[in-house]
Structures are given as C-alpha cells and as structure tokens.
Amino acid sequence: MKRQGFGVIVMGAVSLGAGVGCKSSKSAPEAVAPPAADAKNALRAVSTFASIADEKARSAALFVEAGRVISHPRCVNCHPADGVPRQGMDLRPHVPAVTGGPSGHGTPALPCTSCHQERNTPLVGATLRGVPGNPKWALAPAEMAWVGVPLGKICEQLKDPARNGGKSLEALHHHMAEDVLVGWGWDPGPGLEPVPGTQRAFGELIRAWIDTGAACPSP
C-alpha cells in the first residue's frame, strides 16, 4: 500500500493509540472535549464567508477554517518529520517507542498493524481507551510533515505535487472529502476528541477554497 499523505484533521482517561502508529500511553488523562455534533465544535459553513469581497482574502479565510481540521492534533499526529508517530492532544511521542519505517507502516519487527487493526478496537477497563484503527493506517512521508509547521506553510505544501503525494487540487479535494483515513478523524473511537465539524463540511470548505484560487494565509 502506498504511504498515506494525510491523516490526514472526546478525551477519556489513559490512552492506547491516541494518534498514529502502534500506540499505547501511560500519560496523564486528557480533558474531555465536546463531540463533533456540538455547535462549539462545528465548522463554519462556506456561505458565512460570502461577505469577504476580495476573492483572495476569502480563499485564505476558507483555508483557515478548514485548517481547524488540518492542524488538529488528531491529524498532525500522522505527519511527523522524524518518522516517530505522535499521540494525544499534546503531540507527545508514541508510547511504546516506534517508527513508521521506510513505508510509513512501521518496521518489519513491529508493523503498525500489530496494534492498529482495520477499525477502532475497544478495550475493557475503566482506565483504557480503545486502539484506533483504519484500513489505511500509516504515517505520512517526511515531506508532508505538519508537526510544528504553521498553517500557511502547510497550505503551500498541500498545493505542491512534490510534497502532497503527487496530487492535483482536484485529487486533493477528493482525498480530503472522501478518503476513509481522513474520515477517521471524525470517528477516532471512544475517549478521543474528534476533529471539528464533519468530513462533508470540511470537503465543502476545501472545494470553496480551490474554487476561489486556493490562496494561502500568511505563515
């Protein structure tokens, strides 16, 4: 399977698998966040940007709103530059210590599928969350690193086929709006905060961003 370009974007007690790769964590509990359906966690509709007369400014504003997903830790955890998955809302290094390996799917001795199955796996116990899972579970390649990268720089990266997996803007929209691995961000499993809004709303923002010139916000 090809490496995935994007991971691409409700806390409980202790996490097993809060981000990407073979994960378990003995870290402190994360704060409980509102579910995706909560109005406070919704994405703004494309129509709310219509009052921005300048098309370039409107395009950049649309990307900033979509960036609430792209820059969310649930997505950024999948995009390290060093091949080490992150997990949790604080982007902490994966526990146990693992790497994505040359393919982004782990090493021969410890592939990601050792822990991460095709779907989220519930665990028994009041102090355990489930292990996230998806058929396409993998790390993004290093050229798609988002950890520590400003949203404006991520925007430029997303438009560059040399750094986005060879995708055109149309292919990028399909990936954002339809890909099941991206969609995992809205269904990370019990005890894990989902990314804002819905994948449909996110896809509409990306569509509108492209249609208005795909302008990027300042870094």
Could you read off the pLDDT of 103-118 as tens digits, one per residue?
A: 999 999 999 999 999 9
103: burial class by Cβ within 10 Å (0-12, 13-18, 19+)? middle
Q: Say if residue 7's pLDDT is above 50.
A: no
In angstroms, the CA 171 to CA 180 distance is 14
Give 146-165 pLDDT, tens digit per residue. Answer: 999 999 999 999 999 999 99
Closest of 134, 169, 147, 136 to residue 80, by C-alpha: 147
Instruction: Give yes or no for a contact between 119 and 156, defined as CB atoms under 8 angstroms apart.
Output: no
pLDDT in tens, 70-92: 999 999 999 999 999 999 999 99
Residue 1 in tokens:
């399977």
Using CB atoms within 10 A of its CB, is residue 45 exposed (0-12), middle (13-18) or buried (19+)? middle
- What is the DSSP secondary structure assignment for residue 184, as one 8-state letter? G
What is the predicted pLDDT for the residue at 219? 81
Tell me, what's the pLDDT at 135?
Answer: 92
Percent of the chain with pLDDT over 70: 80
Percent of the chain with pLDDT over 90: 71
Q: What is the 3-state secondary structure (H, E, C) of 17-64?
A: CCCCCCCCCCCCCCCCCCCCCCHHHCCCCHHHHCCCCCHHHHHHHHHH
Could you give the C-alpha distances from 213 to 27, 88, 209, in angstroms and in order? 43, 34, 7
Query: What pLDDT is recorded for position 126?
Result: 54
Q: Which of 119, 138, 127, 141 is nearest to 187 (CA)?
A: 119
Which pTM was predicted?
Answer: 0.80
Q: Average pLDDT in the 39-62 region?
A: 95
Both tokens of residue 15? 């996490």
pLDDT recorded at residue 121: 87
Q: What is the mean pLDDT of the chain?
A: 84
DSSP-based three-state secondary structure for 9? coil
Q: Which is higher by pLDDT, 96 or 18?
A: 96
Averaged over 125-145, what is the pLDDT?
Answer: 85
Q: What does each C-alpha distance from 180 to 90, 175, 218 come to in angstroms? A: 24, 9, 30
Quick check: 133 and 118 in contact, CB under 8 A?
A: yes
Residues 170-177: what's their mean pLDDT?
Answer: 97
Instruction: Report how far residue 151's alpha carbon sits from residue 195's, in angstroms, rounded to the nearest whole number.
Output: 16
Q: pLDDT-derived band of residue 38, with 50, 70 and 90 as boundaries? A: low
Confidence of residue 13 (pLDDT cuts 50, 70, 90): very low
pLDDT band at 23 (very low <50, low <70, confident <90, very high): very low
Q: Pick the residue with more confidence: 76 or 122? A: 76
Q: How far apart are CA 204 and CA 90, in angstroms?
A: 28
pLDDT at residue 202 is higher than 90 = yes
